[in-house]
Amino acid sequence: MQFDKQLIKLNQSFETKEDAIRYCGELLRDGGYVKPDYIDAMITRNEELSVYMGNFIAIPHGTDDAKKEVLKSGITVVQVPKGVNFGTEDSPQVATVLFGIAGIGDEHLEMIQKISIFCADVDNVVKLADAQSEDQVVQLLNGVE
């Protein structure tokens, strides 16, 4: 996976999970990875099935129908030090690292799998959450290959 430093954002904060998902989608749109309609499909996807994956990570991505909105495969990495709740008040699911993804064909499945394996080790998530530069994030994730 190639990581575009323009798509890595440190020290962000969001009021709601929808704000966080929309931000990931806007980064992908602004980078030329997706058409604007993909952003709404990312919100819809989370409504259908939470994009929260555990271990303080969420992987916002579009619905299967939105694949036609993907121009090229891309991935955003958004650090949220204070976290954003993808659950409910009674059952919080706090994410401190967001991976917004868009994949051509089935590439998004491969991306989710690689991210999930990397983040299964909570130490890796802590390192990402504590990263002080985009270069440091890329360096950590280059081990994902």
Active-site residue flag, 61? yes
**C-beta of residue 145 within 8 angstroms of C-beta of residue 16:** no
Tokens of 105: 């064909």
Mean pLDDT rounded to a whole number for the chain: 93
CB atoms within 10 A of CB 80: 22
Q: Containing H/E element for 38?
A: helix 37-48
Q: Choosing from 61, 74, 125, 131, which is the catalytic residue? A: 61
Burial class (CB in 10 A: 0-12, 13-18, 19+), 86: buried
Q: What is the pLDDT of residues 13-66, one digit of tens each?
A: 999 999 999 999 999 999 999 999 999 999 999 999 999 999 999 999 999 999
- What is the structure's pLDDT at 144? 54
For the entire predicted model, the pTM comes to: 0.94
Q: Residue 137: its pLDDT value, please?
A: 93
Q: Which domain range does residue 32 map to? A: 5-144
pLDDT exceeding 70 applies to what percent of the chain? 97
- Nearest to residue 66, comparing CAs of 11, 28, 96? 28
As for how many domains the chain has, the answer is 1
User: With 50 as the cut, is the pLDDT of residue 6 above it?
Assistant: yes
73: CATH = 3.40.930.10
